[in-house]
Amino acid sequence: MERKLRDAGIVSLSTAVPPRVLTNADMERLFDTSDEWIRSRTGIRERHIADPEVACSDLATEAARKALERAHLAPDQVDLVIVATVTPDHYVPSAACLVQDRLGATRAAAFDLNAACPGFIYGVTVARQFVAAGTYDTVVVVGCEVLSRVADPQDRGTYVLFGDAAGAAVVRPVSPGRGILASVLGSDGSGAPHLIIPAGGSRRPASSETVEKREHYLRMNGPEVFRFAVRVMEESSLQVLERCGLNKEDIDLLVPHQANIRIIESARKRLGLPPEKVIVNVDRYGNTSSASIPIALEEALSQGRLHDGDLVVGVAFGAGLTWGSVAMRWGS
């Protein structure tokens, strides 16, 4: 007998952003760069940077705790904690286990998910499966990064781009027709060298030589990632709409990964959307990878730009290479 799946969706959101801000003027003091170059090539004006003692699980726990409070849920009601991150506190144990413990989510399973910038989209998609199937009722999904720890402070080409932050969502059963309607997840590992931390893993374990060669820092082929991003942001948005039998005209709010204003603008124009239907905050946060979509969503909600019944499309691309999109009918 076929078992009916439950509708599942985001019932609350929260963020944790470190208070310290580095502006483009600060970057001018660190590198041979200019506010003009950074703004015109990326749209970024400033980014938040964690203090040295703050790690991924600190920001993730703060965001998750606030998201649970907003949903009026106690930590022991959580069934699963997923932390989407490429900058966990440690390789072992997972950041999710540290968050689970500090939340007091004593009944919860916990794991990290590495899908780079689309990590939050991957995370809510996984959460939806568990909730839809009836396996779990309450899943906390956190997108959290401390990218300032893996960006090379001697590389102006990457260091100016990234910021630190966390965004958390609680995924629960929702009313019929509400919540996550469809997702599209994709990967192309042939593009792995375009965005990579070469050393520190089992391929090239950390050694004094890898540190000397700065191979524990992120390396990026910017123009290659840019071309890929422009293509998949449009394609993936259209594919997820097709999966729910909808068109680009049906979009009420596009929440694109906040990496570069030129990539966001290209997606907006290709999808034929007016500026007011697209969330942009890359100017104030830079690229926060897996935190970027939940932070933008939360901002849209707190600014009153997200209404019950709205069709929201989130779309992202990142290291892997990976991409992902999710279509949601907002409301619970």
Q: Which residue do the tokens 């022991």 mark?
A: 76
Which residues lie below 8 Å from residue 158, measured CB to CB, with a gap of 6+? 151, 152, 217, 218, 219, 220
CA gyration radius, the chain? 19
- Residue (157 or 331) nearer to ligand UT7, CB: 157
In angstroms, give the least distance from the CB of 69 to ligand UT7.
Answer: 30
Question: Any catalytic annotation for residue 307?
Answer: no
- Residue (213 or 227) nearer to ligand UT7, CB: 227
User: Annotated catalytic residue: which of 97, 216, 260, 287?
Assistant: 287
Name beta bridge partners: 16.
Answer: 166
In angstroms, give the least distance from the CB of 32 to ligand UT7.
Answer: 7
Q: Where are the alpha helices (DSSP H) in 44-133?
A: 56-70, 95-103, 119-133
In angstroms, give the least distance from the CB of 74 to ligand UT7.
Answer: 35
**Across the chain, where does the E strand assignment appear?**
8-16, 21-23, 46-48, 80-84, 109-113, 139-146, 164-173, 179-187, 195-196, 219-220, 253-256, 311-318, 322-329
In angstroms, give the least distance from the CB of 288 to ligand UT7.
Answer: 9
Question: Any catalytic annotation for residue 117?
Answer: yes
Q: Virtual CA dihedral for 255, 257, 259, 261, nearest 10 degrees?
A: -30
- Residue (121 or 259) nearer to ligand UT7, CB: 259
The binding site for ligand UT7 (CB under 6 A) comprises 33, 37-38, 41-42, 117, 156-157, 160, 220, 222-223, 225-226, 229, 259-260, 287, 289, 318
- Residue (10 or 44) nearer to ligand UT7, CB: 44
Question: Any catalytic annotation for residue 56?
Answer: no
User: Annotated catalytic residue: which of 48, 117, 144, 216?
Assistant: 117
Active site residues: 117, 257, 287
